[in-house]
Structure 1
Amino acid sequence: MSKLSKSELEAYLLKIRDLAQGPFDEMQREIEVTNVFPDEFYKLSAENDLYRCCLPSEYGGWDLSETEIMRIQEEFSRGPGGMRMHLHHAMDLNWRVLYDYGSEELKKEIMPKFHDKSVYINWAITEQKGGTGADLQSTAVKDGDDYIINGEKFLISHTDCCDYTYITCVTDPNAPKDKRLSTFLLPQGTEGFETIPMPHMMGCRGAGHAGLKFTNVRLPKKYLLGEEGQGLEISIHSLSVSRAHIACSNLGMVQRMLEMTIKRAKDRVTFGKPIADRQAIKVKIADMATYVHALRTMVYEFAKSYDTDPNGPFIEEKAAMCKLFSIWATKAVSDEMLEIFGGIGYFEEDCTIDYGPVERMYRDCRAMWLEEGTPTVQRITIARNVSRHGGMTEYSFD
């Protein structure tokens, strides 16, 4: 498909919004209990090009800009949090890590299969003891033309629907911290690769979280991504962009929360007039709208910077700033939403059916505190990079 015209993009965005707030919302009722996406979710996502649209044209995609990708993400993020998590990954890390760091052999074999979810790849970095950084403890030891992988991963998403796993391990424990790690592409079903189920999460149900265990897993060298010792660089580069996508997901959620809250405030009458006319509620709605607008400005300024130069100055810290501010915004907006809805907002969806899934969205959005780095991690990233540059002196809105 050729690049979308402006009118085609606008029509597509409305289509995705209707999908997220219609069929996806409806099927989430069952997912809240089963914690498993039905086949219909994957089918609808593929039929509506949500796996295809973000890919480069050489692999069947639409050659979308970062701004266009984020606009699509904002729309599907208005729907259930677990589906948002799956589709956010599909539009970014799922294919981008292989595209940026895979060999030509691997890309030729796998990249064309992303467009309809014939291939889906999750990413296993986090460990229960080693966190997500240079202190990881899983190992990949060279053995001839293979690597032998041992260790465990924790809190890994999409384990129930993937065909490969990106896994980051220690390949040289004696190297400097920024050279200790390497990243591999591990096929599902490889001998010694075990998935360990985890309990249901508070929100974002259906996203397939589990632990992973590797016992003498033998992996051919062709599955090494980039070069040995490049694992930390791959993680930092890839997560930088993805953190901005998390912020965009928050934007989609808080925009819908604001709309739901305004409708509720207009409908709820106390002492003869809608609470939307009361000064205290106006203040709350004004604050919510300001957070939403500020977050939208940050997200799309980042997208514009990335479209101009994906390797330009301040990309990493801008992405972390977007993620950090999006947490503040989402906390403030979701808290005000729940307070304005009152008691019915604390009950499951049937009580707020005329407005939207208040209780579910309140739970779903809490995952954003943790995805791809807590607020503390974002602050460390921002401070490290801003200090290195001596401040954001080259920053420009031009």
Structure 2
Amino acid sequence: MTTEKPRSDEEFQRYLMEIRELAQGPFDEMQVEIEVTNKFPQEFFDLANEHNLYRFYLPEKYGGWGMSTLQIMKVQEEFSRGPGGMRMHLHHAAGLNWRIMDDFAQPELKEWAMPRFQDKTLYVNFALTEKEAGSGADIKTNAVRDGGDWVINGEKTLISHTDCSDGTYLITLTDPEAEKSKRLTAFFVPVDTPGYEIVDMPHMMGCRGAGHAGLRFTDCRVPDAYRLGEVGEGLHVAMYSLGLSRVHIADSNLGMAQRMLEISIARAKDRVTFGKPLVSRQAIQTMIAESGKWVYMLRSMIHDTAARYDAGEDPMTQASLCKLASIDGVKVVSDNMLEILGGIGYFEECEYGPAERLYRDCRAMWLEEGPPTVQRTTASRGLIATGGDLWNS
């Protein structure tokens, strides 16, 4: 097990293989029970901690390994080969969980919080979505100033990781009369705040164990010291933070697509019909080539966008295009896998891997952190503004 930050390419490659084996070994095995209980056992959190999956992305000054965005994406691709709910938990840990605090918290809160992310002493969910509003300036959950505090009321829905979080990054309405970009304000709300309530939701199709629920806030009082960013900056906090997170979503699809491609090829080599293996048939070769095209294209797009973040750019357009392409890509790859596997791919247990579960898990990516319609809108704005020149933008 890797205990120290990898310092060479060889050490980093070994760490990547360690995470792949963890995802496809112990994580896969414990997911059988999670599919029924919809809850992670403590063993999952312990193993993630032991393998530094709460540390590898965090800056070294906070006790982390300080890996680059490109390295983070490579690690995430490996754990994304495992169960979708675990992937969702770990990708959140690598992105929104700590970045919002690092980028927007006031000094005293930031000093307290940042070292606690390295071993999951602190884990924070992100609450923007509401039943009766879009994920933007029309949200209804409100915060009203009362002296040195804010009093919060409202409800959020489809919030991940509610069962294992110590707090919430909450986007609220603070000035309904302001222009749209300045109506919202963000806060950190600890789960033990009076009036903070978790509201159960039905089990999801896939990504079981990710703790999806609603949140209800009734006269929740938080100090102004827990405000994130300036008053009226909540929309910026949300959109800026979701930008890089969309690359994490695309990377999740890449990890799943890579594993599904491997499952497809293994089955095509083994399955013999009319005296010939499936892999020798042109129709099957076409599907494998099409899946491989998407995997190669997604990895290239994601790595290019990650390198731009590492260079100090803010490639919001590229991030949305990554997520948009990854949804199309994982759809093709998963459909091809099921067709190549045939009937055995429709069962919960399959000798080639958890094909049925992967097929369900990847469907959550259509919706997570902005559906395709939102990505098209965001990407089109960037393309129009640059005249279509994304390479030099």
Q: Same fold (TM over 0.5)?
A: yes
Q: Identical aligned pairs, as a percentage?
A: 59
Aligned residues: 390
Superposed CA deviations along residues 364-386 of structure 1, whole A, max 9, x for unmatched, are 00000000110000000011222
Aligned mates of 2:46, 2:386 — CA distance in 1: 46
Give the AA of the match of 1:369.
W
- TM-superposed CA distance for 1:3, in Å, is 6.2
Match of 1:360 in 2: 357
Whether contact under 8 Å (1:193, 1:215) holds in the other structure is yes
Is residue 380 of structure 2 the alignment partner of residue 383 of structure 1? Answer: yes
Whether contact under 8 Å (1:83, 1:207) holds in the other structure is yes
- TM-superposed CA distance for 1:179, in Å, is 0.2
Gap runs ≥5 in structure 1: none
- 29, 39, 52: which one pairs with 2:55? 52
Give the AA of the match of 1:69.
I
Aligned mates of 2:272, 2:325 — CA distance in 1: 34
Aligned mates of 2:5, 2:119 — CA distance in 1: 17
Aligned mates of 1:3, 1:396 — CA distance in 2: 32
- TM-superposed CA distance for 1:390, in Å, is 3.0
- 371, 374, 383: which one pairs with 2:368? 371
Match of 2:270 in 1: 267
Aligned mates of 2:319, 2:65 — CA distance in 1: 24
Match of 2:319 in 1: 319
- 60, 63, 68: which one pairs with 1:65? 68
Alignment of 1:145-184 (within 5 A): 145-184=148-187
- 253, 256, 278: which one pairs with 1:253? 256
Match of 1:306 in 2: 309
Give the AA of the match of 2:216.
K
Whether contact under 8 Å (1:156, 1:212) holds in the other structure is yes
Aligned mates of 1:61, 1:7 — CA distance in 2: 20
Is residue 15 of structure 2 the alignment partner of residue 12 of structure 1? Answer: yes
- TM-superposed CA distance for 1:108, in Å, is 1.0
- TM-superposed CA distance for 1:2, in Å, is 5.6
Give the AA of the match of 2:324.
L
Gap runs ≥5 in structure 2: none
- TM-superposed CA distance for 1:388, in Å, is 2.5
SS in 2 for 1:49: coil
Aligned mates of 1:117, 1:28 — CA distance in 2: 20
In the superposition, relative to structure 1, how do residues 337 and 2 fare at CA in structure 2: closer, same or farther (>3 Å)?
closer
Aligned mates of 2:5, 2:114 — CA distance in 1: 18
Q: Normalized against structure 1, the TM-score is what?
A: 0.96
Whether contact under 8 Å (1:57, 1:63) holds in the other structure is yes
Aligned mates of 1:36, 1:395 — CA distance in 2: 43
Match of 2:139 in 1: 136
Whether contact under 8 Å (1:3, 1:63) holds in the other structure is no
Aligned mates of 2:111, 2:127 — CA distance in 1: 23
- 281, 286, 293: which one pairs with 1:283? 286
Whether contact under 8 Å (1:25, 1:79) holds in the other structure is yes
Alignment of 1:190-229 (within 5 A): 190-229=193-232
Q: Normalized against structure 2, the TM-score is what?
A: 0.98
- 101, 107, 112: which one pairs with 2:110? 107
